[in-house]
Structure 1
Amino acid sequence: MNSSEHTPKVPQSLDELITALTEGERTTFSHIIQSIKFKPNAFDKYSSWSNECYTRNCIINNENFELILICWCEGHATPIHDHGGEECWVKVIDGEFREVIYKENEEGELYAIKSTVSKPNEVTYMKDFMGFHSLENVSKQRSMSLHLYAKPIRECRAYDEKTKTFISRFLTYNTTV
Structure 2
Amino acid sequence: MNTSENSTTTLTTLDDLITALSEGDRATYNHLIHSVKLSSENFEKYISWSDECYTRNCIVDNEKFELILICWCKGHSTPIHDHDGEECWVKVITGEFKESIYKENESGGLDIVKTAISKPNQVTYMKDFMGFHSLENLSDKKSISLHLYAKPIRKCRIFDAESNTFVLKELEYDTIAS
Interval containing the TM-score (normalised by the shorter chain) = over 0.9
Question: Structure 1 residue 39: deviation in Å?
Answer: 1.2
| TM alignment of 1:64-75, pairs within 5 A | 64-75=64-75
TM-score, normalised relative to structure 2:
0.96
In structure 2, list runs of 5 or more residues that go unmatched. none
Counterpart AA for 2:68 = I
Partner of 1:145: 145
Instruction: State how far apart, in whole Å, the 2-side matches of 1:145 and 1:59 are.
Output: 12
| Match in the other structure for 1:172 | 172
Tell me the equivalent position of 1:105: 105
Q: Report the CA distance between 1:61 and its aligned residue.
A: 0.3
1:23 aligns with 2:23: yes
Give the Å deviation of 1:89: 0.1
Q: How does 1:17-166 map to 2 (within 5 A)?
A: 17-166=17-166
Cα distance in 2, alignment partners of residues 4 and 23 from structure 1:
20
What secondary structure, in the 3-state scheme, does the structure 2 residue paired with 1:152 have?
Answer: coil
Task: Report how many residues are paired.
Answer: 173
Taking the aligned partners of 2:65 and 2:157, their CA distance within structure 1 comes to: 19
Residue by residue, what CA displacement relative to the aligned partner does 1:127-162 show, whole Å, maximum 9, x if unpaired? 000000000000010000000000100010000111
User: What does the per-residue CA deviation read over 1:91-113, in whole Å, with 9 as the maximum and x for residues that have no partner?
Assistant: 00000000000000111110100
* CA RMSD, 1 decimal: 0.9
Residues in 1 aligned to 2:145 and 2:165: alpha-carbon distance in whole angstroms: 27
Q: Where do 5+ consecutive residues of structure 1 fail to align?
A: none
Taking structure 1 as the reference length, the TM-score comes to: 0.96
Deviating 4+ runs (over 6 angstroms): none
CA shift digits 1:33-62 (9 cap, x unpaired): 000111111100000000000000000000
Amino acid at match of 2:108: G
Q: 1:10, CA displacement in angstroms? A: 1.9
The amino acid of 2:48's aligned partner reads S
